[in-house]
């Protein structure tokens, strides 16, 4: 664990311990430090805000004479915003929220800063608090709508645009964007229903409108008729029982109701005082949602092949997903240092991000697991090749090729053999190169430029 992450984790732990003893000032001090050390951690921010609200007994106004005390933070926010110093805005907004965690403008300022710093989950959390505190602000709703669209949460975005239309019925842009978001949400739902074309999408939308697709399947007449309804009754009976929220969250996740599942897990985290195992469930749901959003964005881009913004959105969502998955896996590798599967997955994330040197030690360790060995060796060959360590790359590929079953994994077999041929060709080992190229052609005669390379070698023009 890096020094900064360890400090953040230690502060968070002390903060939770202080919260359990209702020592609010020390808890806030420790939780604030955890946020300073790791500003991109959503759980730290949520826990801090909850602690601040509990300190003030839920009075919705914060400290006494809060307006006067907030003059300093507001002034710093204004200055930092003019200089595009978003980290400064973030810190000043947090200082202000320590005085009044319900302040709508401070939450919006934090949302703006975190959006600029690409902490999108935290920005969403901050803007949600802003509209909760001031539901009449078109600006806050608009920012929240755009953030939801950026994350591919089109149903939530539609709701935000509709709120703006209620506030200002003459806002034509909000009405138009509400319709656009609803259309994208229909496409997203159609994926779950197996729609194959635009006609199926339209049909899915009509059915959804007719029967109420979002009603869920939790409505039942009595106990035992619906697992969801039974769990909801259990929660009403024991609202402080963490297990019931976890069970309902797992049920909703199986039903692909990811937003609702996340809400259950987040409530369980809150009730448990920040239980790390439950927080991992929240992280898993977030990654599931990002994958669903990415799939939807790709579908929209395919449907609108000339839309440059749609293609740009795919890249942005994919990048956000990769960064978030890397962050989650980093933390888990530190938490579970003997789990080789986690190391393998983190290594793949580093490969995808072009960080081959960081991937290599993780892949070397994960290759000790026989279930991961072949792919780990092939990935090591790729990473060493990208690092221009060609003799090491060849060695890894040669180890891998001995263990690959051509029938079980033809694509990996062709890739490894092809690159072995390329490496042998580059080193002047023509005989070995011809052998590898021939093995590839025996499986796929049109694989890349293999045939041309083999012919060039045999004609002496390699």
Domain ranges of the chain: 3-164, 223-335
Structure confidence at residue 461 as a pLDDT band (50, 70, 90): low
Tell me the per-residue pLDDT of 161-179, one tens digit each, with 9 for 90 and over. 999 999 988 888 888 888 8
Structure confidence at residue 225 as a pLDDT band (50, 70, 90): low
Q: What is the mean pLDDT of residues 262-286?
A: 90
Q: What's the whole-model pTM score?
A: 0.53
Q: What top-level class would CATH report for the domain 223-335?
A: mainly alpha
Separation CA 289–CA 52 (nearest Å): 29
Structure confidence at residue 189 as a pLDDT band (50, 70, 90): low
Supply 279's token pair: 């927080």
Residue-level pLDDT at 105? 95
Q: What is the mean pLDDT of residues 50-64?
A: 91
Same fold, 3-164 and 223-335: yes
Number of Cβ atoms within 10 Å of the Cβ of 212: 9
Pick the closest to residue 40 from 126, 130, 118 (CA basis).
118
More confident residue, 147 or 220: 147
Tell me the per-residue pLDDT of 374-407, one tens digit each, with 9 for 90 and over. 999 999 999 999 999 999 999 999 999 998 887 7
Q: Which CATH number fits domain 3-164: 1.25.40.10, 3.40.50.2300, 3.40.190.180, 3.40.30.10?
A: 1.25.40.10
**Residue 453: is its pLDDT beyond 80?**
yes
CA angle 33, 47, 139 (to 5 degrees): 100
Q: What is the mean pLDDT of residues 69-80?
A: 94
**Residue 14: is its pLDDT beyond 50?**
yes
- Can you list the alpha helix ranges (DSSP code H) found in 134-197? 138-150, 154-167, 172-193
Structure confidence at residue 1 as a pLDDT band (50, 70, 90): very low
Report whether 394 contacts 424 (CB < 8 A). Answer: yes
């Amino acid at each position: 664990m890096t020094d900064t992450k360890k400090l953040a984790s230690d502060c968070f732990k002390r903060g939770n311990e202080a919260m359990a003893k209702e020592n609010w000032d020390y808890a806030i001090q420790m939780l604030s430090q955890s946020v300073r050390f790791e500003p991109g951690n959503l759980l730290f921010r949520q826990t801090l805000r909850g602690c601040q609200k509990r300190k003030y007994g839920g009075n919705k106004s914060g400290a006494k004479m809060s307006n006067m005390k907030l003059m300093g933070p507001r002034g710093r926010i204004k200055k930092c915003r003019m200089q595009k110093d978003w980290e400064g805005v973030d810190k000043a907004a947090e200082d202000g929220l320590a005085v009044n965690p319900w302040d709508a403008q401070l939450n919006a300022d934090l949302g703006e800063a975190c959006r600029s710093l690409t902490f999108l989950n935290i920005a969403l959390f901050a803007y949600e608090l802003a509209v909760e505190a001031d539901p009449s602000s078109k600006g806050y709703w608009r920012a929240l709508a755009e953030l939801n669209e950026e994350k591919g949460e089109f149903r939530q975005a539609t709701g935000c645009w509709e709120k703006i239309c209620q506030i200002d019925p003459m806002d034509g842009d909000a009405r138009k964007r509400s319709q656009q978001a609803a259309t994208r949400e229909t496409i997203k739902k159609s994926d779950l229903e197996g729609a194959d074309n635009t006609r199926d999408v339209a049909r899915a939308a009509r059915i959804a409108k007719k029967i109420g697709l979002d009603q869920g399947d939790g409505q039942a007449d009595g106990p035992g008729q619906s697992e969801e309804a039974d769990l909801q009754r259990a929660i009403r009976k024991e609202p402080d029982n963490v297990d019931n929220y976890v069970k309902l969250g797992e049920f909703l996740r199986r039903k692909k109701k990811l937003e609702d599942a996340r809400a259950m897990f987040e409530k369980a985290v809150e009730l448990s005082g920040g239980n790390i195992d439950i927080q991992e469930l929240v992280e898993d749901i977030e990654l599931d949602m990002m994958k669903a959003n990415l799939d939807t964005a790709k579908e929209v881009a395919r449907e609108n092949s000339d839309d440059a913004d749609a293609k740009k959105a795919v890249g942005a969502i994919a990048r956000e997903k990769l960064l978030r998955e890397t962050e989650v896996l980093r933390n888990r590798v530190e938490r579970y240092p003997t789990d080789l599967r986690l190391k393998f997955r983190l290594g793949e994330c580093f490969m995808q991000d072009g960080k081959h040197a960081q991937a290599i030690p993780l892949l070397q360790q994960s290759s000790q697991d026989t279930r991961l060995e072949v792919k780990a060796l092939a990935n090591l060959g790729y990473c060493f090749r990208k690092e221009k360590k060609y003799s090491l790359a060849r060695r890894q590929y040669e180890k891998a090729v001995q263990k690959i079953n051509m029938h079980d994994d033809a694509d990996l077999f062709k890739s490894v053999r092809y690159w072995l041929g390329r490496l042998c060709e580059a080193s002047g080992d023509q005989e070995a190169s011809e052998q590898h190229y021939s093995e590839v052609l025996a499986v796929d005669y049109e694989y890349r430029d293999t045939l041309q390379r083999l012919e060039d070698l045999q004609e002496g023009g390699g």
